Amino acid sequence: MASLMLHPDRALPAEPTTRGLARRIYDETAQLPIVGMHGHVEAQILADDAPFGDPAALLVTPDHYVTRMLYSQGVEPYRLGVRAAGDPEVAPREIWRTFCSHWPLFRGTPSRYWLEHELVEVFGVSSVPSPETADELFDAITSVLESPYFRPRALLDRFGIELIATTDPATSQLEHHAKLAADGLGERVVPTFRPDALTHLNRPTWVADVAELGRVAGHDTGSYEGYLAALRQRREAFIAAGALATDHGHLSTDTTRLSVEQAAAIYRDALQGTASAEAGHAFAGHMLHVMAGMSAEDGLVMQLHPGVLRDHHTASFDAYGPDRGWDIPVPTEYTRSLRPLLESYGMTPGFRLILFTVDETTYSRELAPIAGVYPSVRLGAPWWFLDSPHAMRRFREAATETAGFYNTSGFVDDTRAFASIPARHDLSRRIDAGYLGTLVAEHRLSEQEAVETAIDLAYTLPKAAYARR
């Protein structure tokens, strides 16, 4: 029976000279603390510090990278624990068996890298997933999950996580963060302000969400003025809870600012259910501009994650809800769309904008030149469909010559899968070591410079990029 083994040089360059250089560079970063400034681990998991459930609930059902691959091969969602009303409930062991029987589907994917790392380094198992080994693996992982050393807070130490940011809706009352703060973890686990549900007014739940905003903030959101006041109040509450950043997921990067009168009129129409799709798009772009202004005032770092058409298959969204794997990238334009925002705040001391993309054609044409001149802008790490070995290398090759290393913000794992965090950061450090090793082999950097840069990319830059100004 095949054994699962992690090669010490995995994901490093194949050429022997460059590999040796990359290995030495990587060794200097491998044990650095993790600074995870953007992710989706829920604060409640860390606040409650309860044992994790079972292998399927931890590694399969919540990971849309895993589930979408299996959907693509005809596996019904309910067999993976993703259920719609009326779907049969499947036992965790059966979900795990389904996953293990489809293990070959992950060959060549980043999911394979992360999962292998988790199985070997986190759970200490060595059997390759398969129909024959599924039960053995399920029992071995379950035994680990039952250990007090595998509670969520214990994993912060085991994984070397110095700082982790959750992503929280703007209406969150942050009670889980309050508990963490009371337990002495308030500076280690911080919230991130996510206002998307309130700025995309064509969403079906927008009216209810705005009413909830008013209730939580103590402001009357029946007017545009009251809506802005409520958003400011929630930002203040997040800052008081330790937040360092905001996060904005938009389809486009339009930042055209409307007049107060135009914005107020669209807002009134939306409350009455009469705003058009075009008006909703204009309002969302306007609110990106407004949010940038608020960040310039209060110092929260602004993250922009555009270019994904959410819930591409409507029936699946209606049945299973969001974040289940049916989100697909679209081409994204930055230069013209961001110009209004950057005209207003791109040179403002204290403002910081971190740009992400799932459209890698923009790296050298738009994103690197923007970050290479505006002091407020940093480039985020390859994200979502691009957080893979080849795409990470392409990012460094395309962006570095124009933006350099120091106009980037370090790696973000962007994951709900808590146990995969060290695997994702490890892959990023290996790819950066390989790229830097290539520059040394080409006599473009000294090895000492490469080591210093690798340490900065893994640790120093994310702390600097997300520091409140």
- C-alpha 203/C-alpha 331 separation (Å) is 22
Structure confidence at residue 323 (pLDDT): 86
Average pLDDT of the chain? 96
Cα–Cα distances (Å) from 294 to 144, 241, 298, in that order, read 45, 17, 6
* pLDDT tens for each residue of 312-354: 999 999 999 988 999 999 999 999 999 999 999 999 999 999 9
CA atoms within 13 A on the CB side of 74: 0
The answer to whether residue 2 scores a pLDDT higher than 80 is no
The answer to whether residues 385 and 341 belong to one domain is: yes
pLDDT at 468 over 90: no
- For residue range 225-244, list pLDDT tens digits in order: 999 999 999 999 999 999 99
| 52-82: b (≥16 Cβ within 10 Å) or e | bebbbebbbbbbbbbbebbbeeebebbbbbb
Q: How far is Cα 397 from Cα 402, in angstroms, rounded to an integer?
A: 10
Give pLDDT, residue 428: 98
Are 185 and 315 in the same domain?
Answer: yes
Looking at the chain, the whole-number percentage of residues with pLDDT higher than 70 is 100
In which band, very low, low, confident or very high, does the pLDDT at 445 lie, cut at 50, 70 and 90?
A: very high
Q: CA dist 351 to 256, 282, 298, 415, Å?
A: 18, 23, 9, 26
Q: Is residue 226 part of a domain?
A: yes
Q: Which of these three, 120, 150, 180, is where a domain ends?
A: 150
Backbone torsions φ then ψ of 408, nearest 5 degrees: -115, 170
Is 38 contained in some domain? Answer: yes
Instruction: Give residue 243's pLDDT.
Output: 98
| Cross-strand partners of 192 | 245
- Residue 1 has a pLDDT of 64
CA 336, CA 332: separation in Å to the nearest integer?
11
Count of domains observed in the chain: 2
pLDDT band for 300, please (50, 70, 90 cuts): very high
Confidence of residue 469 (pLDDT cuts 50, 70, 90): confident
Nearest to 254 by CA among 280, 232, 233, 230: 280
**Residue 106, Cβ neighbours under 10 Å: how many?**
20
Examine the fold and report which residue of 108, 127, 150 is the final residue of a domain before the chain moves on.
Answer: 150
The pLDDT value recorded for residue 47 is 98
- Residue 8 inside a domain? The answer is no
pLDDT the model gives residue 120? 97
For residues 207 and 314, membership in a common domain is answered with yes
Single out the residue in 150, 177, 200 at which a domain terminates: 150
- Average confidence (pLDDT) over 95-120: 97
Residues 164 and 250 in one domain: yes
Return the pLDDT at 18: 98
Q: What is the pTM of this model?
A: 0.96
Q: Residue 39: which CATH number?
A: 3.20.20.140
Token reading at 121: 């380094």
Domain that holds residue 264: 16-50+151-465
Together in a domain, 44 and 120: no
For the stretch 155-193, pLDDT in tens is 999 999 999 999 999 999 999 999 999 999 999 999 999
CA torsion sign for 76, 80, 84, 86 is: positive
Q: Residue 7 domain-assigned?
A: no
Share of the chain above pLDDT 90, in %: 97
- 174 lies in the same domain as 318: yes
Kind of pairing, strands 328-329 and 308-309?
Answer: antiparallel
* Residue 9 lies inside a defined structural domain of this protein: no
**Sheet containing 161-165: order of strands:** 34-36, 161-165, 189-190
Q: Does residue 6 lie within any of the structural domains? A: no
Within this chain, do residues 373 and 313 fall inside the same structural domain, yes or no?
yes
Q: Are residues 162 and 255 in the same domain?
A: yes
> Cα separation of 249 and 353, whole Å?
13
Asked whether residue 453 is domain-assigned, the answer is yes
Assigned domain for 42 exists = yes
Q: How far is CA 236 from CA 106, 123, 144, 191, 200, in A?
A: 43, 40, 40, 12, 21
State whether 217 and 332 are in the same domain. Answer: yes
Same domain, 267 and 278: yes
Asked whether residue 242 falls in the same domain as residue 338, the answer is yes
Q: What is the CATH number of the domain that holds 89?
A: 1.10.2020.10
**Whether residue 112 is found in the same domain as residue 179:** no
